[in-house]
């Protein structure tokens, strides 16, 4: 069993949890993920490791309550336990020999971009972070990102906070101002990562994206997380989740991502929470 030692609400849709998992915390690195299961008959859900504390033996996850399992996870509180919490899985991000980097996070992807920025900052790289959100009410981790960035720019689609516009607009301005990046890391919705990659390809800037594909076992056996990279089939769980953004077939990935939306909606609408209440109430 894996105890929830901290729970924090980041905005109306997103929550943070610290899980007691010393063996995972000991080996975790930015870019890796875990798979959790709440109880015996729950589905297996992958989440990228948002942070870890080796001394405390905890792993931090940040999630948005969008499906049946994440909504159920959101009902748990400090002191409750998860049945399974497996990891670290995936290949850790290769962040060596980077002098100047732009880390771009979109929405919930900002939670995944944070450990990348934190690691690079600790290695002495100059870190410029661009975090994009639909509006000011959805902004998360602003203080945390500020602490690990030489420059932080918050962008909102509606201009309600920070710079009005998309992360691609901000990144293009930074490049055209003369910033010579060794690397761009883009993490967020597939469409955002696609447009960031198309932009950086014009400037021949190496770009890494994190592919959070549909996943079941996390060992490469099910094939659900397959993604086409440079014309070859790769598996996000064992070959990634980091890949060269200039080689990803994003259109295929977006089609695959939408395959189970109808089933997820059905599962959510039929689900009745049985935790601490009368299911017929």
Q: What does the pLDDT look like over 101-142, one tens digit per residue?
A: 999 999 999 998 999 999 999 999 999 999 999 999 999 999
Domains of the chain plus CATH, in order, are 2-89 (2.40.30.10), 100-257 (3.40.50.80)
pLDDT digits (tens, 9 = 90+) for 227-244: 999 999 999 888 889 999
The pLDDT value given to residue 275: 45
Beta strands, E only, the chain: 2-9, 14-20, 33-37, 45-48, 51-53, 58-64, 81-82, 84-89, 100-106, 126-133, 151-156, 163-164, 183-187, 207-210, 226-229, 232-235, 242-244
> What is the spatial distance between Cα 203 and Cα 199, in angstroms, rounded to a whole number?
7
- pLDDT above 50: residue 277: no
Q: How far is CA 113 from the centre of its chain?
A: 7
Beta-strand relationship, 126-133 and 100-106: parallel
Q: What is the pTM of this model?
A: 0.86
Give the pLDDT band (50/70/90) at residue 217. Answer: confident
Q: Tell me: the pLDDT tens digits for 48-82?
A: 999 999 999 999 999 998 888 899 999 999 999 99
């Amino acid at each position: 069993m894996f105890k929830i030692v901290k729970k924090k609400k980041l905005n109306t849709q997103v929550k943070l949890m610290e899980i007691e998992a010393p063996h995972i915390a000991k080996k975790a690195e930015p870019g890796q993920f875990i798979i959790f299961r709440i109880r015996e008959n729950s589905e297996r859900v992958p989440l990228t490791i948002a942070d870890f504390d080796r001394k405390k033996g905890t792993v931090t996850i940040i999630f948005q309550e969008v499906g049946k399992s994440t909504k159920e996870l959101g009902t748990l509180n400090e002191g409750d336990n998860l049945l399974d919490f497996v990891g670290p899985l995936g290949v850790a991000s290769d962040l060596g020999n980077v002098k100047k980097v732009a880390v771009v996070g979109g929405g919930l992807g900002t939670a995944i971009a944070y450990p990348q920025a934190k690691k690079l900052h600790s290695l002495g790289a100059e870190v410029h972070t661009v975090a994009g959100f639909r509006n000011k009410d959805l902004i998360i981790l602003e203080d945390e990102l500020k602490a690990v960035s030489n420059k932080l720019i918050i962008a909102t689609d509606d201009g309600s906070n920070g710079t009005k516009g998309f992360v691609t607009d901000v990144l293009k301005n930074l490049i055209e101002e003369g910033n010579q990046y060794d690397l761009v890391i883009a993490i967020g919705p597939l469409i955002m990562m696609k447009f960031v990659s198309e932009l950086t390809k014009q400037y021949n800037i190496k770009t890494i994206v994190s592919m959070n594909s549909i996943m079941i076992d996390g060992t490469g056996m099910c094939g659900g997380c397959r993604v086409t990279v440079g014309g070859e089939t790769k598996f996000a769980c064992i070959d990634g989740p980091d890949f060269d953004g200039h080689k990803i077939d994003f259109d295929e990935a977006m089609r695959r991502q939408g395959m189970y939306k109808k089933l997820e909606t059905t599962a959510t609408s039929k689900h009745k929470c049985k935790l601490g209440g009368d299911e017929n109430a």
